[in-house]
Amino acid sequence: MANSKDSHDSEKPHIFDRLYDTVKVLRSPEGCPWDREQTPETLINSLIEETYEAVEAILNKDNKNIIEELGDLFLILDMIIVIYEEREVLQYNNILENVLKKIIRRHPHVFENITLNTSDEVVRHWEHIKQNIEKKEISSSILENIPSSAPPLERAFLIQKKVQKYGFDWNTEEEIFDKIHEELLEYQQAETKDKKINELGDLLFSIVNLCRKNNIEPSIALNRTNNKFFKRFNYLEEQMKRTDSQLKKENIEIMEKYWQEAKKELG
């Protein structure tokens, strides 16, 4: 008798097929009007939102939500694939075969008799494979493949990670601190709105550098602060309602009192 793990593993391909077939039904003339109206372009926001929700669930170690959010991601991806299949742009199996071949090809240290001992060696060998085996066209700029559609914070992070590989980087965290202070001073001295925009951009870029230097994704750090602010302000609102106090500038001292309470209560 097969053990439960073997039985569970054998179900995986069938579950993928069932999800795919279900999406095809949703897209059919007898399916759902909303699903039939969708295009890859209209699903972009859903793809981004579901990705962020999955990231939040992972960071919160919320196993229940991890299951739900990763499932939502699979659904959106399947929907996009089915639409492209309908347009005869691609086939589902081709996508899976392509990524499977790429994984095996780029891991010769796992599937062939090649020894690579460190992550740095693996990354360097990947570049060798891309250029010499896959014959990827060499870009005129090392930054060319960074998507311009990426959110600005993430794009800054990707730019800095890319140039850092080629030695264009700060040597120490203290040098980044100096740069942040320099950009802040330049912002304070800016006399026009256009100049202020430029200097604030430089300041943000420098802070992203500080995140990267510490292996911290800036969007994750900022999202954590957003969530923290959200919870604290909700606490403040609840206390203001409880004491029949209005949220307005004239009550800033009361609001500050509850804000400090929220910091102690919620962290």
User: What is the mean pLDDT of the segment spanning 69-89?
Assistant: 96
The pTM assigned to this predicted structure is 0.66
Tell me, yes or no, whether 162 and 121 share the same domain.
no
Reported as a single tens digit per residue, the pLDDT across 100-130 is 999 999 999 999 989 999 988 898 888 888 8
User: What is the mean pLDDT of the segment spanning 135-144?
Assistant: 76
Contacting residues for 259 by C-beta, under 8 A, at least 6 apart? 232, 233, 236
pLDDT band at 1 (very low <50, low <70, confident <90, very high): very low
Number of domains in the chain: 4
Distance CA 104, CA 92 (A): 19
Tell me, yes or no, whether 72 and 54 share the same domain.
yes
CATH code, 160: 1.10.287.1080
Q: Is the torsion defined by CA of 42, 48, 50, 53 positive or negative? A: negative
Residue 2 lies in a domain: no
Segments forming the whole domain that contains residue 176: 152-216
Q: Is there a contact between 219 and 48 (Cβ–Cβ < 8 Å)?
A: no
